[in-house]
Amino acid sequence: MYQRYFRLDLQHYAVQQVTQKRYHAPLSNPRRVLDIGTGSGVWMLEMAAEFPSCEFTGIDIAPLQPATVLPQNCKFEIANVLEGLSYADGYFDCVRHSLLVAAIPKEKWLPYVKECARVCASGGWVEMIEADCRGQGGGPVSEKLADMIVRALQTRGLSPDTGSKVDRLMCEAGLVDVKATHVKIPVGSWGGTAGELFAKNARMANAILIPLLANTLGISREEMEQLAQQGEEEIERYHMSMNLYVYVGRKP
């Protein structure tokens, strides 16, 4: 469990390092903000310090770390967003998530984005950060691993390609002034601090995915571990990168 929180914090700091921003929606004086899939709560805690008069709500399917101490303007609730959001229409000034593409089934994406829009106040913002499951320029083994990950996720009803299409879903959900920003993220020490963070995150993700890939695709765990090791070596040799997408849309 603690390894999960550590990996999610790595993602958080890696994304901030490459975007140089904590938030992307044009917030000025928000009253209530919802952080979906809050993980360890690190983003919510940082934002709570920046906006002390705002009430932040973090929700996740798993509990926070027992040692987490929430400030007065933060609260946490266990919830499964795939079952809808239990808040009134227009309750939040900003609704956001980061990197949930591997957690939302293909047929649930549009209903989910519509729910985010529903609980967002008129004039408020929905912000979503996503990444591709495929890397670019990673070499033949890395490309093979990416194809395997995509196939395994699709077998489980997930939609790994949706990360690059969230702006369309936002428009379908009725949001306006939708803006999509594409950021190329380095993976590996060649990419500086951000690259090192993303590479470490990739290694931890591979350790989690190896059993899933082996079971889903009928490949031995030993073969998967060997491929993962070869893929890690390629990351540095071929200067692998990935696509990060930042989406914001306004509730009319």
What residue type is 211 in one-letter code?
P
Separation CA 94–CA 27 (nearest Å)? 8
Looking at residue 1, its pLDDT comes to 56
pLDDT of 172 higher than 80: yes
- Domain that residue 9 falls in: 2-250
Q: What share of the chain has pLDDT > 90, as a percent? A: 59
Pick 192 or 133 by higher pLDDT. 192
pLDDT of 201 higher than 80: yes
Residues 138-152 pLDDT 10s:
789 888 888 888 888
Separation CA 108–CA 96 (nearest Å)? 17
Task: Give the pLDDT band of residue 236 (cuts 50, 70, 90).
Answer: confident
Average pLDDT on 156-183 reads 95
Tokens encoding 50: 């920046």
Average pLDDT on 91-100 reads 97
Task: Please list the residues that pair with 92 across neighbouring strands.
Answer: 120
Give the H/E segment covering residue 248: strand 241-250
Task: Give the pLDDT band of residue 2 (cuts 50, 70, 90).
Answer: low
Task: Give the pLDDT band of residue 73 (cuts 50, 70, 90).
Answer: very high
Give the mean pLDDT of the chain: 92
| CATH code of the domain covering residue 142 | 3.40.50.150
Number of domains into which the chain is organized: 1
Tokens encoding 117: 């829009």
Task: Give the pLDDT band of residue 198 (cuts 50, 70, 90).
Answer: confident
User: Is there a contact between 57 and 45 (Cβ–Cβ < 8 Å)?
Assistant: no
Looking at residue 237, its pLDDT comes to 86
Looking at residue 90, its pLDDT comes to 98
